[in-house]
Amino acid sequence: MNANNTENLSEISQPVLKRTLDIICGKWRLYIIFQLSKQDYRYGELRRMIPEVSEKVLIQELKTLVSLGVLQKRSYNEVPPRVEYGLTPKAREILPVLKEIATIGKTFLDV
């Protein structure tokens, strides 16, 4: 890391860093964001895409990401009820960072 990047890091306020970590920390959060980067999905579709996560944990993570402003939950007045989750416009700013994280992961897979 060059000195310029270190200086930029020291300018980050603690509340900003905490909010960022609230969003990206959690075993499944970035994976959920990655899945929703393609299109909006219903709960059942997300559950099938991420079979390793328990139903309870997925529900909790979706609720948390909605409350943090990362996801939007749209309910449709239909029978049976239909709910879809999608990224908010602000959450789309996470996608370039997610791509960089994937690049780092690939580097470590090549070791």
Q: What is the pLDDT of residue 20?
A: 82
Whether 48 is covered by a domain: the verdict is yes
State how many domains the chain has: 1
Q: 40: domain range? A: 13-109
Distance of alpha carbon 5 from alpha carbon 29, whole angstroms: 26
Whether 5 is covered by a domain: the verdict is no
pLDDT at 12 over 80: no
Whether 39 is covered by a domain: the verdict is yes
CATH number for the domain spanning 64: value is 1.10.10.10
Whether 6 is covered by a domain: the verdict is no
pLDDT in tens, 52-77: 999 999 999 999 999 999 999 999 99
- More confident of the two residues 20 and 67: 67
pLDDT at 2 over 80: no
Whether the predicted model's global pTM rises above the 0.85 cut: no
Q: Is residue 34 within 8 Å of 50, Cβ to Cβ?
A: no
Whether 99 is covered by a domain: the verdict is yes
Whether 4 is covered by a domain: the verdict is no
